[in-house]
C-alpha cells in the first residue's frame, strides 16, 4: 500500500512538473501564447525542427500551391545544413522563427539562461535571411524564468502552440496525425507540426501526408491561414 501511494505521488509530481514547464498552456512564468481568442476562422500552422530535406521542401511546395502561409521555427544546425531551404521559405512569403541552435535538452540544465543557444541561432538566421527573427519557440516548449529573461534581452517573443498529435514525432500514420490535428483545429489555434527531428533530421513523410489532409480539410471548412505574427498581432522580425 505504501509503495502504491509513493508511486501515485511520484506520478502526480511528474505530471505537475510537466504542466508547469512544458505544457502548451502553462503561463506560470509569463505570457507564452498558444492561441488567440477569436470567433473568426483563422488559424496558424507552424513547423518545428527544420529545415530537413526533402520533407521541408515538400511541405513548402504544397503550402505554396494552396497559397497558405505558415511559420517555420528552425534549428540553427539544420539551417547551416540547408541554408537554401531557409531562403526559399522566406522568398515564398512564410515566416522564420528561432528554435535554438542545437535543440539539445541538456543545455537547459547546464545553461538555464539558454543564451548561447538563442544568440547563436539568431546570428545564423540573420546571416542566411538578412534579418533577425522576433519569434522564438523553445524546444519541447520548455519555459522558466531565466529563459524568458534571455528572450527579453534578445527582443524575442515566446510562442507556444498545440501539438498536432502527441505521437507525430514518432511518425505514426499520416491519416491519424491529420485526424488529431483536425480535432484541435479551432478559431485562433496555433498548431505545431515537425518537419525535422531535433537537429538530426529524419523521415517526416507521414507529416507531409498529414499536412496535405489538414490543409485541404481546413480550406473546405472556411479557415484563413495566418502566420504567427499576424495571428498574435506582433512583429515577425526585429
Q: For residue range 187-206, what is the model confidence (pLDDT) as tens digits?
A: 999 999 999 999 999 999 99
Residue spans per domain, the chain: 30-232
pLDDT band at 224 (very low <50, low <70, confident <90, very high): very high
pLDDT band at 74 (very low <50, low <70, confident <90, very high): very high
The end-to-end CA distance of the chain, in Å, is 57
Q: Domain 30-232, CATH 3.40.50.1000 — does that match?
A: no
pLDDT of amino acid 121: 98
pLDDT band at 2 (very low <50, low <70, confident <90, very high): confident
Q: How far apart are CA 215 and CA 230, in angstroms?
A: 18
Q: How far apart are CA 194 and CA 164, in angstroms?
A: 9
Indicate whether 8 pLDDT > 90. no
Cell of 141: 516548449
Cell of 23: 505544457
Residue 67 — left, alpha, or beta (φ > 0 → left; ψ -120 to 50 → alpha)?
left
Indicate whether 19 pLDDT > 80. no
Indicate whether 116 pLDDT > 90. yes
pLDDT digits (tens, 9 = 90+) for 156-175: 999 999 999 999 999 999 99
Cis peptide before 51 (omega within 30 of 0): yes
pLDDT of amino acid 18: 77
Indicate whether 80 pLDDT > 80. yes
The upper half-sphere exposure of residue 139, i.e. CA atoms within 13 Å in the direction of its Cβ, equals 23
Q: How far apart are CA 103 and CA 77, in angstroms?
A: 9
Other beta carbons within 10 angstroms of residue 109's beta carbon come to: 8
pLDDT digits (tens, 9 = 90+) for 172-191: 999 999 999 999 999 999 99
- pLDDT: is 17 or 39 the higher one? 39
pLDDT of amino acid 43: 98
Indicate whether 55 pLDDT > 80. yes
Amino acid at each position: 500500500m505504501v509503495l502504491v501511494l509513493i508511486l501515485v505521488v511520484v506520478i502526480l509530481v511528474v505530471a505537475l512538473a510537466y504542466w508547469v514547464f512544458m505544457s502548451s498552456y502553462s503561463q506560470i512564468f509569463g505570457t507564452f501564447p498558444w492561441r488567440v481568442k477569436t470567433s473568426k476562422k483563422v488559424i496558424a500552422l507552424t513547423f518545428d525542427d527544420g529545415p530537413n530535406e526533402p520533407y521541408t521542401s515538400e511541405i513548402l511546395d504544397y503550402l505554396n500551391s494552396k497559397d497558405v502561409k505558415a511559420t517555420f521555427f528552425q534549428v540553427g544546425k539544420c539551417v547551416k545544413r540547408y541554408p537554401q531551404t531557409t531562403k526559399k521559405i522566406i522568398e515564398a512569403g512564410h515566416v522564420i522563427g528561432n528554435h535554438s541552435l542545437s535543440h539539445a535538452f541538456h543545455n537547459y540544465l547546464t545553461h538555464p539562461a539558454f543564451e548561447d543557444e538563442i544568440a547563436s541561432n539568431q546570428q545564423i538566421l540573420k546571416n542566411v535571411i538578412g534579418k533577425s527573427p522576433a519569434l522564438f519557440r523553445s524546444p519541447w516548449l520548455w519555459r522558466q524564468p531565466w529563459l524568458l529573461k534571455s528572450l527579453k534581452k534578445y527582443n524575442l517573443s515566446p510562442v507556444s502552440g498545440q501539438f498536432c498529435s502527441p505521437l507525430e514525432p514518432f511518425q505514426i500514420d499520416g491519416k491519424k496525425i491529420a485526424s488529431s490535428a483536425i480535432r484541435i483545429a479551432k478559431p485562433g489555434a496555433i498548431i505545431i507540426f515537425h518537419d525535422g527531428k531535433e537537429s538530426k533530421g529524419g523521415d517526416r513523410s507521414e507529416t507531409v501526408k498529414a499536412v496535405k489532409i489538414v490543409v485541404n480539410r481546413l480550406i473546405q471548412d472556411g479557415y484563413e491561414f495566418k502566420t504567427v505574427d499576424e495571428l498574435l498581432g506582433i512583429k515577425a522580425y526585429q
